[in-house]
Amino acid sequence: MHDNEEVLTFAEFALPPTITAAIDDLGFTHCTPIQGAVLPYSLSDYDVTGQAQTGTGKTAAFLITILTQQVEFPTEKSGPVATPRALVLAPTRELALQIEADAHDLSRHMHAHVVAVVGGMDFDRQQQQLEKRPVDILVATPGRLIDFCNRRIVSLREVEVLVIDEADRMLDMGFIPDVRRIVYQTPKKRDRQTLFFSATFNDDVMNLADQWTIDPMHVVIQPEQVAVDTVDQRFWHTSKADKAGTLVQFIQHKKPSHTLVFVNRRDQARHLVSHLNRQGIECEGLAGDIPQRKRLATLNRFKEGKTNLVVATDVAGRGIHVEGISHVINYDLPDDAEDYVHRIGRTGRAGASGISISFVSEDDAFNLPAIETFIGKEIVCTHPDL
Protein backbone atom coordinates (compact mmCIF):
# COMPACT_ATOMS: atom_id res chain seq x y z
CA MET A 1 0.00 0.00 0.00
CA HIS A 2 1.36 3.38 -0.92
CA ASP A 3 -0.08 6.80 -0.20
CA ASN A 4 2.15 9.41 -1.74
CA GLU A 5 2.64 12.64 0.23
CA GLU A 6 5.59 14.10 -1.69
CA VAL A 7 4.81 16.14 -4.82
CA LEU A 8 6.93 14.90 -7.71
CA THR A 9 7.63 16.71 -10.96
CA PHE A 10 7.46 14.98 -14.33
CA ALA A 11 11.10 16.00 -14.91
CA GLU A 12 12.17 13.53 -12.20
CA PHE A 13 11.11 10.53 -14.32
CA ALA A 14 13.50 11.12 -17.25
CA LEU A 15 10.67 10.58 -19.72
CA PRO A 16 11.37 10.49 -23.47
CA PRO A 17 11.68 14.01 -24.97
CA THR A 18 8.59 13.54 -27.19
CA ILE A 19 6.44 12.86 -24.12
CA THR A 20 8.06 15.61 -22.05
CA ALA A 21 7.31 18.07 -24.87
CA ALA A 22 3.62 17.07 -24.89
CA ILE A 23 3.40 17.39 -21.09
CA ASP A 24 4.99 20.86 -21.37
CA ASP A 25 2.51 21.84 -24.12
CA LEU A 26 -0.34 20.85 -21.79
CA GLY A 27 1.12 23.06 -19.06
CA PHE A 28 1.72 20.27 -16.52
CA THR A 29 4.81 20.36 -14.32
CA HIS A 30 3.87 18.55 -11.09
CA CYS A 31 2.30 15.12 -10.77
CA THR A 32 -1.08 14.69 -9.13
CA PRO A 33 -0.96 12.32 -6.10
CA ILE A 34 -2.04 9.29 -8.18
CA GLN A 35 0.55 10.05 -10.88
CA GLY A 36 3.32 10.48 -8.30
CA ALA A 37 2.34 7.20 -6.65
CA VAL A 38 1.80 5.09 -9.80
CA LEU A 39 4.54 6.22 -12.21
CA PRO A 40 7.63 5.06 -10.25
CA TYR A 41 6.20 1.50 -10.36
CA SER A 42 4.40 1.45 -13.70
CA LEU A 43 7.44 2.87 -15.54
CA SER A 44 9.48 0.03 -13.99
CA ASP A 45 7.10 -2.57 -15.46
CA TYR A 46 5.32 -3.47 -12.22
CA ASP A 47 1.64 -4.34 -12.27
CA VAL A 48 -0.32 -1.68 -10.37
CA THR A 49 -3.72 -1.68 -8.69
CA GLY A 50 -4.80 1.90 -8.03
CA GLN A 51 -7.67 3.19 -5.96
CA ALA A 52 -8.63 6.62 -7.25
CA GLN A 53 -11.62 8.54 -8.56
CA THR A 54 -11.99 9.85 -12.10
CA GLY A 55 -10.56 13.35 -12.35
CA THR A 56 -7.45 12.61 -10.24
CA GLY A 57 -5.11 12.28 -13.22
CA LYS A 58 -4.90 8.48 -13.43
CA THR A 59 -5.55 8.55 -17.19
CA ALA A 60 -2.32 10.48 -17.77
CA ALA A 61 -0.48 8.08 -15.42
CA PHE A 62 -1.31 5.01 -17.47
CA LEU A 63 -0.96 6.76 -20.85
CA ILE A 64 2.50 8.12 -19.98
CA THR A 65 3.49 4.57 -18.96
CA ILE A 66 2.22 3.08 -22.25
CA LEU A 67 3.74 5.77 -24.49
CA THR A 68 7.12 5.68 -22.70
CA GLN A 69 7.35 1.93 -23.19
CA GLN A 70 6.43 2.26 -26.86
CA VAL A 71 9.08 4.94 -27.47
CA GLU A 72 11.77 2.94 -25.67
CA PHE A 73 10.89 -0.41 -27.28
CA PRO A 74 9.71 0.29 -30.82
CA THR A 75 8.43 -2.70 -32.79
CA GLU A 76 7.86 -3.30 -36.47
CA LYS A 77 4.35 -4.60 -37.01
CA SER A 78 2.29 -5.18 -40.06
CA GLY A 79 -0.55 -7.36 -41.19
CA PRO A 80 -4.24 -7.14 -42.02
CA VAL A 81 -5.44 -7.60 -38.44
CA ALA A 82 -5.29 -4.82 -35.87
CA THR A 83 -2.95 -6.10 -33.13
CA PRO A 84 -2.73 -3.27 -30.59
CA ARG A 85 0.33 -2.96 -28.36
CA ALA A 86 -1.74 -1.50 -25.54
CA LEU A 87 -5.41 -1.98 -24.62
CA VAL A 88 -7.42 0.32 -22.34
CA LEU A 89 -10.88 -0.92 -21.28
CA ALA A 90 -13.38 1.62 -19.99
CA PRO A 91 -17.03 1.17 -18.93
CA THR A 92 -18.64 4.05 -20.84
CA ARG A 93 -18.33 5.63 -24.27
CA GLU A 94 -17.76 9.06 -22.77
CA LEU A 95 -14.85 7.88 -20.65
CA ALA A 96 -13.32 5.91 -23.55
CA LEU A 97 -13.52 8.97 -25.83
CA GLN A 98 -12.00 11.15 -23.12
CA ILE A 99 -9.10 8.69 -22.75
CA GLU A 100 -8.64 8.68 -26.54
CA ALA A 101 -8.51 12.51 -26.56
CA ASP A 102 -5.94 12.51 -23.72
CA ALA A 103 -3.86 9.91 -25.61
CA HIS A 104 -3.83 12.15 -28.70
CA ASP A 105 -2.72 15.09 -26.53
CA LEU A 106 0.12 13.15 -24.90
CA SER A 107 1.32 11.55 -28.16
CA ARG A 108 1.15 14.74 -30.27
CA HIS A 109 4.93 14.66 -30.89
CA MET A 110 4.96 10.95 -31.75
CA HIS A 111 3.50 8.86 -34.55
CA ALA A 112 1.30 6.83 -32.21
CA HIS A 113 -1.89 5.48 -33.77
CA VAL A 114 -4.65 5.71 -31.15
CA VAL A 115 -8.09 4.26 -31.93
CA ALA A 116 -11.29 4.16 -29.85
CA VAL A 117 -13.89 1.46 -30.49
CA VAL A 118 -17.14 2.11 -28.63
CA GLY A 119 -20.75 1.09 -29.07
CA GLY A 120 -23.40 3.40 -30.48
CA MET A 121 -21.08 4.85 -33.11
CA ASP A 122 -20.26 3.97 -36.71
CA PHE A 123 -18.79 0.43 -36.80
CA ASP A 124 -17.40 0.73 -40.35
CA ARG A 125 -15.66 3.99 -39.57
CA GLN A 126 -14.01 2.44 -36.52
CA GLN A 127 -12.95 -0.53 -38.67
CA GLN A 128 -11.33 1.83 -41.19
CA GLN A 129 -9.40 3.49 -38.35
CA LEU A 130 -8.22 0.10 -37.10
CA GLU A 131 -7.04 -0.99 -40.54
CA LYS A 132 -5.35 2.29 -41.49
CA ARG A 133 -1.99 1.39 -39.92
CA PRO A 134 -0.65 -0.61 -36.94
CA VAL A 135 -2.53 0.28 -33.75
CA ASP A 136 -0.43 1.44 -30.80
CA ILE A 137 -3.20 2.14 -28.29
CA LEU A 138 -6.72 0.74 -28.51
CA VAL A 139 -9.29 2.28 -26.14
CA ALA A 140 -12.50 0.29 -25.98
CA THR A 141 -15.80 -0.41 -24.28
CA PRO A 142 -16.19 -4.17 -23.74
CA GLY A 143 -19.19 -4.98 -25.97
CA ARG A 144 -17.91 -3.28 -29.10
CA LEU A 145 -14.41 -4.76 -28.67
CA ILE A 146 -15.88 -8.27 -28.48
CA ASP A 147 -17.71 -7.58 -31.77
CA PHE A 148 -14.40 -6.66 -33.42
CA CYS A 149 -12.59 -9.68 -31.93
CA ASN A 150 -15.37 -12.08 -32.97
CA ARG A 151 -15.11 -10.81 -36.55
CA ARG A 152 -11.34 -11.33 -36.43
CA ILE A 153 -10.76 -7.64 -37.20
CA VAL A 154 -8.85 -7.19 -33.91
CA SER A 155 -6.40 -9.61 -32.31
CA LEU A 156 -5.25 -9.05 -28.72
CA ARG A 157 -2.39 -11.56 -28.82
CA GLU A 158 0.31 -8.85 -28.84
CA VAL A 159 -1.01 -6.63 -26.04
CA GLU A 160 1.95 -5.53 -23.90
CA VAL A 161 0.05 -3.29 -21.48
CA LEU A 162 -3.55 -3.93 -20.38
CA VAL A 163 -5.38 -1.16 -18.53
CA ILE A 164 -8.70 -1.84 -16.82
CA ASP A 165 -10.25 1.47 -15.78
CA GLU A 166 -13.14 1.99 -13.35
CA ALA A 167 -13.40 -1.71 -12.54
CA ASP A 168 -16.09 -1.07 -9.91
CA ARG A 169 -18.26 0.67 -12.52
CA MET A 170 -17.72 -2.27 -14.92
CA LEU A 171 -18.91 -4.57 -12.15
CA ASP A 172 -21.99 -2.41 -11.44
CA MET A 173 -22.89 -2.30 -15.13
CA GLY A 174 -22.62 -6.08 -15.56
CA PHE A 175 -19.62 -5.98 -17.92
CA ILE A 176 -17.32 -8.37 -16.06
CA PRO A 177 -18.16 -11.51 -18.14
CA ASP A 178 -17.27 -9.51 -21.28
CA VAL A 179 -14.10 -8.14 -19.68
CA ARG A 180 -13.09 -11.65 -18.64
CA ARG A 181 -13.49 -12.90 -22.23
CA ILE A 182 -11.32 -10.01 -23.45
CA VAL A 183 -8.59 -10.55 -20.83
CA TYR A 184 -8.37 -14.24 -21.82
CA GLN A 185 -7.55 -13.16 -25.40
CA THR A 186 -4.53 -11.11 -24.27
CA PRO A 187 -1.15 -12.71 -23.43
CA LYS A 188 -0.93 -14.49 -20.05
CA LYS A 189 -0.49 -12.10 -17.13
CA ARG A 190 3.22 -13.00 -16.81
CA ASP A 191 3.71 -11.79 -20.40
CA ARG A 192 1.93 -8.46 -20.12
CA GLN A 193 1.81 -5.51 -17.72
CA THR A 194 -1.58 -4.88 -16.10
CA LEU A 195 -2.70 -1.55 -14.61
CA PHE A 196 -6.02 -1.93 -12.78
CA PHE A 197 -7.95 1.08 -11.45
CA SER A 198 -11.10 1.36 -9.38
CA ALA A 199 -12.68 4.06 -7.22
CA THR A 200 -13.49 1.39 -4.59
CA PHE A 201 -11.86 -1.92 -3.70
CA ASN A 202 -14.51 -4.20 -2.20
CA ASP A 203 -14.11 -8.01 -2.12
CA ASP A 204 -15.45 -8.45 -5.66
CA VAL A 205 -13.06 -5.85 -7.11
CA MET A 206 -10.10 -7.27 -5.14
CA ASN A 207 -10.94 -10.71 -6.48
CA LEU A 208 -10.75 -9.44 -10.08
CA ALA A 209 -7.49 -7.61 -9.40
CA ASP A 210 -5.98 -10.81 -7.94
CA GLN A 211 -7.01 -12.81 -11.03
CA TRP A 212 -5.60 -10.38 -13.57
CA THR A 213 -2.41 -8.99 -11.97
CA ILE A 214 0.82 -10.44 -10.55
CA ASP A 215 2.21 -9.07 -7.25
CA PRO A 216 0.86 -5.59 -7.99
CA MET A 217 1.86 -2.44 -6.17
CA HIS A 218 -1.36 -1.26 -4.54
CA VAL A 219 -1.70 2.51 -4.58
CA VAL A 220 -4.44 4.27 -2.62
CA ILE A 221 -5.27 7.92 -3.13
CA GLN A 222 -7.74 9.05 -0.51
CA PRO A 223 -11.02 10.13 -2.14
CA GLU A 224 -11.01 13.63 -3.41
CA GLN A 225 -10.01 15.62 -0.38
CA VAL A 226 -8.87 18.01 -3.10
CA ALA A 227 -12.34 18.45 -4.50
CA VAL A 228 -13.93 18.63 -1.08
CA ASP A 229 -11.45 21.32 0.00
CA THR A 230 -11.82 23.54 -3.06
CA VAL A 231 -15.62 23.26 -3.29
CA ASP A 232 -17.97 25.42 -1.24
CA GLN A 233 -20.61 22.81 -0.34
CA ARG A 234 -24.14 24.00 0.41
CA PHE A 235 -27.17 21.93 1.36
CA TRP A 236 -30.61 23.46 0.88
CA HIS A 237 -33.82 22.28 2.51
CA THR A 238 -36.54 21.94 -0.10
CA SER A 239 -39.59 19.77 -0.53
CA LYS A 240 -39.67 17.35 -3.44
CA ALA A 241 -42.44 19.41 -5.06
CA ASP A 242 -40.43 22.65 -4.78
CA LYS A 243 -37.18 21.42 -6.31
CA ALA A 244 -37.94 22.49 -9.88
CA GLY A 245 -39.13 25.93 -8.78
CA THR A 246 -36.07 26.40 -6.55
CA LEU A 247 -33.78 25.53 -9.44
CA VAL A 248 -35.54 27.93 -11.81
CA GLN A 249 -35.36 30.77 -9.24
CA PHE A 250 -31.69 30.09 -8.59
CA ILE A 251 -30.80 30.18 -12.30
CA GLN A 252 -32.88 33.30 -12.97
CA HIS A 253 -31.61 35.23 -9.92
CA LYS A 254 -27.99 34.12 -9.63
CA LYS A 255 -27.28 33.55 -13.34
CA PRO A 256 -24.54 30.95 -12.69
CA SER A 257 -21.97 30.82 -15.47
CA HIS A 258 -21.27 27.13 -16.16
CA THR A 259 -23.54 24.72 -14.33
CA LEU A 260 -23.95 20.95 -14.17
CA VAL A 261 -27.16 19.59 -12.59
CA PHE A 262 -27.20 15.94 -11.47
CA VAL A 263 -30.32 13.81 -11.25
CA ASN A 264 -30.54 10.13 -10.35
CA ARG A 265 -32.58 8.79 -13.26
CA ARG A 266 -32.70 9.18 -17.02
CA ASP A 267 -36.42 10.01 -17.11
CA GLN A 268 -35.84 12.78 -14.55
CA ALA A 269 -33.15 14.29 -16.77
CA ARG A 270 -35.58 14.38 -19.68
CA HIS A 271 -38.42 15.90 -17.63
CA LEU A 272 -36.19 18.52 -16.02
CA VAL A 273 -34.71 19.65 -19.34
CA SER A 274 -38.25 20.04 -20.74
CA HIS A 275 -39.38 21.96 -17.66
CA LEU A 276 -36.43 24.36 -17.77
CA ASN A 277 -36.87 24.93 -21.51
CA ARG A 278 -40.54 25.79 -20.93
CA GLN A 279 -39.40 28.38 -18.37
CA GLY A 280 -37.25 30.00 -21.05
CA ILE A 281 -33.99 28.56 -19.64
CA GLU A 282 -31.69 27.09 -22.26
CA CYS A 283 -30.25 23.75 -21.23
CA GLU A 284 -29.40 20.31 -22.58
CA GLY A 285 -29.45 16.76 -21.20
CA LEU A 286 -26.77 14.07 -20.90
CA ALA A 287 -28.25 10.69 -20.07
CA GLY A 288 -27.90 7.09 -21.20
CA ASP A 289 -31.04 7.10 -23.34
CA ILE A 290 -29.88 10.06 -25.47
CA PRO A 291 -28.22 8.98 -28.77
CA GLN A 292 -24.44 8.98 -28.59
CA ARG A 293 -23.91 11.53 -31.34
CA LYS A 294 -26.22 13.98 -29.59
CA ARG A 295 -24.47 13.42 -26.26
CA LEU A 296 -21.07 14.14 -27.81
CA ALA A 297 -22.39 17.30 -29.46
CA THR A 298 -23.83 18.45 -26.11
CA LEU A 299 -20.56 17.71 -24.33
CA ASN A 300 -18.58 19.68 -26.90
CA ARG A 301 -20.95 22.66 -26.68
CA PHE A 302 -20.62 22.55 -22.89
CA LYS A 303 -16.81 22.48 -23.14
CA GLU A 304 -16.82 25.41 -25.54
CA GLY A 305 -19.25 27.43 -23.41
CA LYS A 306 -22.00 27.46 -26.06
CA THR A 307 -24.21 25.59 -23.60
CA ASN A 308 -23.90 26.73 -20.00
CA LEU A 309 -26.40 24.44 -18.31
CA VAL A 310 -26.42 20.63 -18.58
CA VAL A 311 -28.62 18.13 -16.73
CA ALA A 312 -26.84 14.77 -16.35
CA THR A 313 -27.10 11.35 -14.77
CA ASP A 314 -24.10 9.75 -13.05
CA VAL A 315 -23.21 7.43 -15.94
CA ALA A 316 -23.10 10.38 -18.36
CA GLY A 317 -21.41 12.54 -15.73
CA ARG A 318 -18.40 10.21 -15.59
CA GLY A 319 -17.24 11.41 -19.00
CA ILE A 320 -17.38 15.10 -18.16
CA HIS A 321 -13.92 16.62 -17.82
CA VAL A 322 -14.68 20.27 -18.42
CA GLU A 323 -12.60 23.11 -17.05
CA GLY A 324 -14.35 26.07 -15.46
CA ILE A 325 -17.57 24.48 -14.15
CA SER A 326 -18.69 27.05 -11.59
CA HIS A 327 -21.62 25.20 -9.99
CA VAL A 328 -22.64 21.59 -9.51
CA ILE A 329 -26.23 21.16 -8.36
CA ASN A 330 -27.39 17.88 -6.88
CA TYR A 331 -31.07 18.06 -7.80
CA ASP A 332 -31.25 14.63 -6.14
CA LEU A 333 -28.70 13.38 -3.65
CA PRO A 334 -27.07 10.21 -4.98
CA ASP A 335 -27.64 6.93 -3.14
CA ASP A 336 -23.89 6.34 -3.00
CA ALA A 337 -21.74 8.75 -0.97
CA GLU A 338 -18.81 8.26 -3.35
CA ASP A 339 -20.96 9.43 -6.24
CA TYR A 340 -21.57 12.63 -4.26
CA VAL A 341 -17.82 13.30 -4.03
CA HIS A 342 -17.40 12.36 -7.67
CA ARG A 343 -20.15 14.78 -8.71
CA ILE A 344 -18.88 17.76 -6.76
CA GLY A 345 -15.38 16.99 -8.09
CA ARG A 346 -16.58 18.21 -11.50
CA THR A 347 -16.10 21.73 -10.10
CA GLY A 348 -13.20 23.09 -8.05
CA ARG A 349 -10.74 21.41 -10.43
CA ALA A 350 -7.15 22.35 -11.10
CA GLY A 351 -6.98 24.66 -8.11
CA ALA A 352 -10.05 26.71 -9.06
CA SER A 353 -12.85 27.14 -6.55
CA GLY A 354 -16.39 25.96 -7.18
CA ILE A 355 -19.79 25.80 -5.53
CA SER A 356 -21.93 22.71 -5.03
CA ILE A 357 -25.57 23.01 -4.00
CA SER A 358 -27.50 19.93 -2.93
CA PHE A 359 -31.28 19.95 -2.68
CA VAL A 360 -32.33 17.97 0.39
CA SER A 361 -35.96 16.87 0.41
CA GLU A 362 -37.71 14.32 2.61
CA ASP A 363 -36.55 11.62 0.13
CA ASP A 364 -32.91 12.73 0.05
CA ALA A 365 -32.38 13.07 3.80
CA PHE A 366 -31.73 9.33 4.17
CA ASN A 367 -28.51 9.72 2.17
CA LEU A 368 -27.04 12.49 4.34
CA PRO A 369 -25.43 10.39 7.15
CA ALA A 370 -23.39 8.31 4.68
CA ILE A 371 -22.21 11.46 2.87
CA GLU A 372 -21.30 13.10 6.19
CA THR A 373 -19.20 10.08 7.15
CA PHE A 374 -17.56 9.92 3.76
CA ILE A 375 -16.53 13.58 3.54
CA GLY A 376 -15.64 13.68 7.23
CA LYS A 377 -17.57 16.80 8.16
CA GLU A 378 -20.96 17.68 9.55
CA ILE A 379 -23.60 18.74 7.05
CA VAL A 380 -25.75 21.71 7.94
CA CYS A 381 -28.88 22.27 5.87
CA THR A 382 -30.05 25.84 5.30
CA HIS A 383 -32.93 27.49 3.51
CA PRO A 384 -32.26 28.29 -0.14
CA ASP A 385 -30.26 31.48 -0.59
CA LEU A 386 -32.30 33.08 -3.35
Of 113-127, 244-258, 272-286, 345-359, the poorest mean pLDDT is in 345-359
DSSP 265-299: SHHHHHHHHHHHHHTT---EEE-TTS-HHHHHHHH
**For residue 376, pLDDT beyond 70:** yes
Average pLDDT over residues 193-209: 92
**For residue 291, pLDDT beyond 80:** no
Count of other CB atoms within 10 angstroms of residue 264: 17
Measured CA to CA, the distance from residue 103 to residue 60 in angstroms comes to 8
Q: Which of 322, 328, 331 is nearest to 275 (CA)?
A: 331
**For residue 350, pLDDT beyond 70:** no
pLDDT at 197: 95
Q: Which of 285, 284, 287, 243 is nearest to 266 (CA)?
A: 287
pLDDT digits (tens, 9 = 90+) for 21-58: 999 988 888 888 889 999 999 999 999 999 987 667 89
Residue 255, judged by CB atoms within 10 A of its CB (0-12, 13-18, 19+), counts as: exposed
Determine what percent of the chain is predicted with pLDDT higher than 70.
91
Which domains can be identified in the chain, with CATH numbers? 10-220 (3.40.50.300), 225-382 (3.40.50.300)
Backbone φ, ψ for residue 59 (5° rounding): -60, -50
Under 8 Å between Cβ of 207 and 328 = no
pLDDT at 1: 45
Residue 360, judged by CB atoms within 10 A of its CB (0-12, 13-18, 19+), counts as: buried
Is the whole model's pTM more than 0.75, yes or no? no
If one compares 218 and 322, the residue with the highest pLDDT of the two is 218
Amino acid occupying residue 11: A
pLDDT digits (tens, 9 = 90+) for 131-177: 999 999 999 999 999 999 999 999 999 999 999 999 998 998 899 99
